[in-house]
Amino acid sequence: MTSLQKKIARLVTMHGPIDVSQYMHLAMADPDYGYYKTAQPFGREGDFITAPETSQMFGEMIAVWAIAAWQSMGHPQPFLLCEAGPGRGTLMDDILRTIGKLAPHCAASAHVALVETSPRLTRQQKQKLRRHGTRLQWVEHFAQLPPMPLVLIANELFDVLPIHQYVAAGGRFYERMVALSPEGQLCFTRGVSPAQLARLPVAAGTLADGTVIEISPAREALSGEISTHLAKQRGAALIIDYGALEPATGDTLQAMSRHSFRNPLENPGGYDLTSHVDFAALARAAHRAGCHSAAMTQGDFLLRLGLLERAGRLGADRDDTMRQQIVADVERLAGPDQMGELFKVLCIADPATTMPPFAWA
Ligand code: SAH
């Protein structure tokens, strides 16, 4: 057993089974052994490669969107350009470089803020973004941001926020819990009594026994918090992640290590633990806060913003090897069998702000 497995096993022995949300939180954020404390998540040598780590073109397209958002808001100065969950800082680096080139006036009006909970990644981000000067601010929670018009980007942040899982059985839902097997291993079990839930996307009676559904109060709360800020101060947010646009059923909890899927209970703290994002739930939270929203696949989003044209220009004076790499990057970011369809882009904005290429429903 690893140190964190032992710690969780002790907790379960003393207090009884813990829910999936608590398990995810311990695995990711335990102050001694949590994933973000100990792991090297990003890149080819790490556990996974995100879109901004794949190619600079991703950040360039997001920058084009951010400039359009700022213009649509009426060029506020100053405004808050914020990234939540910035990882190695690569996306913000590409965004700032591109905005500086395409829209210096927008760049000059931007007060840059990064929302990050990991001290280690914060240090990496500061190092990476040093060259963009001193108008950068780091906070641990979204609520600490100053009240200003906002353009916010979050790529692969919501998938790491914890979820609860419920299992249908005999017309009722029982929370899925983490317990200890007779052999002393972490295992899934069912809560002892039916879950009392006010809001669920589906009725248990319509589902086959054993079907898992997932909800995430943490994700809905963050979407609501961002949207409340947008409705009050004006602005737009772009939330990018893997998941479904329509409510879906099924167990999507996943552990990723060195680019392959692993058993989520096998090595807490050692693997990246995530689940698919329910974009419909995030959109509902945005509407409750008085915002508009629209969504599309990442492939559609990038193509409509001009990914192919940008790739053409980028490859124009490069050699064949580089050009093949650019083609492969486009395929990875927007190809339907790669990130293009699985990843979705949700745009949330205050009602007065229009946001091409999105159309409000
Ligand atoms: N956006 C980056 C990294 C994605 S990984 C990319 O696309 O490459 C998730 C990031 O979110 C990490 O930086 C992690 O430390 C951060 N994070 C995790 N929980 C968070 C929270 N509650 N608030 C803000 N950031 C968080």
Pocket test for ligand 1, best of 160, 226, 274 (most atoms within 8 A of CB): 160
Share of the chain above pLDDT 70, in %: 99
Asked if residue 300 has pLDDT above 70, the reply is yes
Atom of ligand 1 nearest to the CA of 51: 7
- Predicted confidence at residue 55, as pLDDT, reads 97
Q: Are 347 and 355 spatial neighbours (Cβ–Cβ below 8 Å)?
A: yes
- Predicted confidence at residue 60, as pLDDT, reads 98
pLDDT per residue over 341-353, tens digit each?
Answer: 999 999 999 999 9
Pocket of ligand 1 (CB under 6 A): 36, 50, 52-53, 84-87, 91, 115-118, 121, 155-157, 160
Region 122-143 average pLDDT: 94
Residue nearest to atom 14 of ligand 1 (CA): 85
- Predicted confidence at residue 39, as pLDDT, reads 75
Quote the ligand 1 centre to 273 CA distance (angstroms): 12
User: How far, CA to CA in Å, does 183 sit from each of 4, 11, 18, 186?
Assistant: 17, 16, 18, 9
Quote the ligand 1 centre to 347 CA distance (angstroms): 19
- Predicted confidence at residue 37, as pLDDT, reads 78
pLDDT per residue over 62-106, tens digit each?
Answer: 999 999 999 999 999 999 999 999 999 999 999 999 999 999 999
Q: Considering the chain, what is the average pLDDT of its residues?
A: 94
Asked if residue 200 has pLDDT above 80, the reply is no
DSSP assignments along 81-133, one per residue: EEEES-TTSHHHHHHHHHHHHH-HHHHHHEEEEEE---HHHHHHHHHHHGGG-
Pocket test for ligand 1, best of 38, 48, 120, 157 (most atoms within 8 A of CB): 157
- Predicted confidence at residue 199, as pLDDT, reads 67
More confident residue, 47 or 222: 222
